[in-house]
Amino acid sequence: MAIEVEQVSSVGLSNIAVSDTHGEDSPYFAGWKAYDENPYDEFNNPNGVIQMGLAENQVSFDLLENYLEKHSESSTLRPRSSGISSFRENALYQDYHGLLTFRKAMASFMERIRGGRAKFDPERVVLTAGATAANELLTFILANPGDALLVPTPYYPGFDRDLRWRTGVQIVPVHCDSSNNFQVTPEALEEAYSKATSMNIKVKGLLMTNPSNPLGASIQRSVLEEILDFVTRKNIHLVSDEIYSGSVFSSSEFISIAEILEARDYKDSERVHIVYSLSKDLGLPGFRIGTIYSYNDKVVTTARRMSSFSLISSQTQHLLASMLLDTEFTDNYIKTNRERLRRRYEMIIGGLKKAGIECLKGNAGLFCWMNLSPLLENNSTREGELELWESFMHEVKLNISPGSSCHCSEPGWFRVCFANMSEQTLDIALNRISSFMEKRKY
């Protein structure tokens, strides 16, 4: 039974508590609420809303489950070969550096998903409770309240909360467009930087996602070179969020910023910081495993101190360390996961094409970038886009993310997730879209 308490408005709260920079009034989060009120279920609610706004990887969950079931020695309740349980070690306070075995495992796994083309030092691995905590922690370290980070658009809607809300740091969008598949250009970078400085806003860094969320595409090597040259010229930081680096359909098409730095003999690398997580590639968002990998000694030291606010439990580290160090398993997982994601991607792209809908060509991630701008007709505005989004939510019963929530400069683009459901559910979603498109013809 709920306990209702009369709320007295005179009881004051902090500026952060009453700030509207949490970003949760965005259609991105509103779509989740609509789904929660009427969730699709094959048997109990077949006419409910299908969740296509959640970037969650469930296509290879069986591989993880089977491995952990077969390797029960990962449990802290099992006795070691010495006959002594490791329960005590994991139950008591841990060093906030994290378990060395797990940091080694993370460094090894990050190397393997990049095909061994980049090296990672476990001593530079800082553990955090997910990529959300990692990005916010880096923002606290790199910028002061009122300063800004440049972020190329379209970008993950959660950044409006993660980077701004508690830090007081601003986001200055770097506007990209469809004329070059939303790739970042030197001109767009200069324009955003100049706009910020003209408003007396100090730019402290640039944050990019590679592969991109929501585009589902990796950044070309030449563009990465230009971005690194730009931040070096401006003497600002570069944060490369690479949480989808292991979810690339073709490994040869993904270039990590770490590879660029190695090719440059790590010149000016102290301004570069990589964010990684096991939430997307391994489909373990509930485990809250994130990583900051910085080439800056002071950032590593400070991040470790601040990470005490967002530690990963010893049990979680112990459970996954041996799995990540099992190269036979990880190599098979990476290969199989990529094949399954490619199959899903081809399934949704093919289904949308049959319905007359084009998408940006992608090669990574758990989503596609769908172009519905032709449906806006004479109302090619943000308002027109949101009206179309409402139609999808209430008529088609699909939660997709409108481009405006990603700060896309062109109305009519939508992010559509495909890896958080069964193929049968995805097929139902595609049939709903096809029926909607047929009705729009008349």
Q: What is d(CA 270, CA 104) in angstroms, rounded to the nearest whole number?
A: 21
**Under 8 Å CB-to-CB from 330, ≥6 apart: which residues?**
109, 112, 323, 324
Main-chain dihedrals φ then ψ at residue 322, nearest 5 degrees:
-65, -35
Asked if the bond preceding 145 is cis, omega within 30° of 0, the reply is no
Cα 400 from Cα 31, distance rounded (Å):
7
Catalytic option among 280, 293, 349, 428:
280
Q: How far is CA 271 from the centre of its chain?
A: 21
> What token pair was written down for 298?
């002071």
Distances in whole angstroms, Cα of residue 256 to Cα of each of 13, 115, 224: 43, 10, 9
Q: Which of 236, 243, 357, 428 is catalytic?
A: 243
Q: Is 280 a catalytic residue?
A: yes
Sheet strands (E) in 13-133: 50-51, 125-128
Q: What gap in Å lies between CA 239 and CA 243, rounded to an integer?
A: 12
Specify whether 241 is catalytic.
Answer: yes
Q: Calculate the CA 74 to chain-centre distance.
A: 28
Environment class of 98 (CB within 10 Å of its CB; exposed 0-12, middle 13-18, buried 19+): buried
Q: How far apart are CA 85 and CA 318, in angstroms?
A: 13
The length of the chain, given as a count of residues: 442
Active-site residue, selected from the candidate residues 156, 244, 295, 345: 156
Catalytic pick among 241, 276, 333, 345: 241
Q: Where are the alpha helices (DSSP H) in 314-422?
A: 314-325, 327-354, 382-391
Cite the active site residues: 156, 241, 243, 280
